[in-house]
Amino acid sequence: MDYIEILILVLSFVFLLGLGVPIAWTLGLSGLITILVSVESISAFTTMAQQMATGLDSFTMLAIPFFILAGEVMNRGGIARRLIDFAKTLVGSMPGGLAYVNIFAAMLFGAIAGSAVAAASAIGSILGPRMEKEGYSKEFSAAVNITASTTGLIIPPSNILIIYSLASGGVSIAALFIAGYVPGLIIGLLLMGVAAFWAKRKNFAVGERSSLSEVFSTFVKAFPSLLLLIIVIGGIIAGIFTATEAAAIAVVYTLILGYYYKEVSTRDLPGILMDSVMTTSIVMLLIATSISMSWVMSYENIPQDISAALLALSDSKIVILLTINLILLFVGTFMDMTPAVLIFTPIFLPIVTELGIDPVHFGIMMVLNLCIGLCTPPVGTLLFVGVGVAGTTIEKVIKPLLPLFLAMIVALMLITFFPELTLWLPRMFGF
């Protein structure tokens, strides 16, 4: 095994990251430095630029900006508030009810918007003050909001699952979407279990039980938002439209919904479009540089070398899966999900496929791993968003975050070693 290319790649990446270079530029530059070792400079620069351009030339990739735009419209369209009201009538009367409401609403909103950051911002800004008013600490509220928001990346529609489909060479997006439901529910239930224990220990307030008429009323108000799930996911599963077409339909539907709720006006559209363009440009630059770096790794045979080393480590499926999980958990602490999926899917997918693991199962496992990284320093996006929305500090949030973090680790282990939890639903639909 030749370690030179791996060493150059890793050292240049760590060095640039340590200097504070943005992750997208770090990925592109470290890939370029590595390829310059074996290729002439003009050819190296040309090839890297070509790989970045061709990597984005994909019809499926169009789903990402559309879903981002749909998420921005939802964030301003009053959808979060209606979902919170509906969730509160269902679970608000339980011990620690508002924590349940936070988790349940985050699952619903994340499933509709497909964005963990949007869920953390929207749900946290509305529920945070309510929870504080009823005796919950800012830190506990922030911890619940941070971890619950990750469910939106597992429960479809999810941009990161679309990216995994591209990185894996064409794993069915519909199968990945269906596979995300049960793991997403498992995470939500485990987080609710921790919230219930914490609520009883701290003696948090219990809300009033809602009547059936109140449940029905809030459901009717939230139903148009929930209908988007049926339209988007149902249309993809039924083969009526592709993921990209579904994303475009989601944009049109959310705009209609925003006008119907009178929460979005024509004057809001320039701001919504500008925010969407800014987010899309960041994501697309990350994707482009990640694809170029992935090509460099493939050119230098780095994935094959790592695969050989891991398979030589042990012939036990359990040991290799634990090793991959530990690597991904570590990677998730300092790398954004998008480049992590694009870089490490070509490395680990051949290994797990050789072990007889379904690519759909591995995709959900990988995304959940990286979701945990979003909740941890130093680069945990959700951690910073959740803390900022709650108006507290990372140091204060760590203590209530730890048991919720452990619940996510338990969910990861269940999903890793019990593949049927992920695969039975896609198989039921013929995938």
Give tens-digit pLDDT for 329-377.
888 887 778 888 888 888 888 888 888 889 999 999 999 998 888 888 7
298/292 Cα distance (integer angstroms): 10
Alpha carbon 103 to its chain's center: 15
For the chain, give the percent of residues with pLDDT over 70: 94
From 185-199, 215-229, 376-390, the region with the lowest mean pLDDT: 376-390
Q: What is the mean pLDDT of residues 125-135?
A: 77
Torsion of CA 350, 351, 354, 355, to 10 degrees: -140
Q: What is the DSSP letter of 335?
A: S
From 44-48, 206-210, 265-269, the region with the lowest mean pLDDT: 206-210
Confidence of residue 207 (pLDDT cuts 50, 70, 90): low
Higher pLDDT, 306 or 398: 398
Q: 247-302: per-residue pLDDT in tens?
A: 888 888 888 888 888 888 888 888 888 988 888 888 888 888 888 888 887 777 77
Per-residue model confidence (pLDDT) at position 93: 66
Per-residue model confidence (pLDDT) at position 1: 47
Per-residue model confidence (pLDDT) at position 327: 87
pLDDT at 413 over 90: yes
Name residues whose C-beta falls within 8 Å of residue 117's C-beta, 6 or more positions apart in sequence. 149, 381, 382, 385
From 73-77, 215-219, 354-358, the region with the lowest mean pLDDT: 73-77
Per-residue model confidence (pLDDT) at position 77: 66
Confidence of residue 125 (pLDDT cuts 50, 70, 90): confident
Higher pLDDT, 37 or 416: 416
Burial 396-425 (b: 16+ CB within 10 A, else e): bbeebbebbbebbeebbeebbeebebbbeb
Per-residue model confidence (pLDDT) at position 166: 85
pLDDT at 32 over 50: yes
Q: What is the mean pLDDT of residues 78-107?
A: 76
pLDDT at 244 over 60: yes
The Cβ of residue 170 has, within 10 Å, a number of other Cβ atoms equal to 10
Per-residue model confidence (pLDDT) at position 358: 92
3-class DSSP state of 206: strand
Q: What is the mean pLDDT of residues 176-199?
A: 88
Confidence of residue 206 (pLDDT cuts 50, 70, 90): low
DSSP assignment of 81-140 equals: HHHHHHHHHHHTTSBTHHHHHHHHHHHHHHHHH--HHHHHHHHHHHHHHHHHHTT--HHH
Confidence of residue 186 (pLDDT cuts 50, 70, 90): very high
Q: How does the average pLDDT of the chain come out, rounded? A: 83
pLDDT at 92 over 70: no
Q: What is the mean pLDDT of residues 111-132?
A: 75
Per-residue model confidence (pLDDT) at position 2: 57
Confidence of residue 190 (pLDDT cuts 50, 70, 90): very high
| Distances 263 to 191, 252, 313 between C-alpha atoms, Å | 31, 15, 57
Q: 363-412: per-residue pLDDT in tens?
A: 999 999 988 888 887 667 778 888 888 888 888 888 888 899 899 999 99
Per-residue model confidence (pLDDT) at position 95: 67
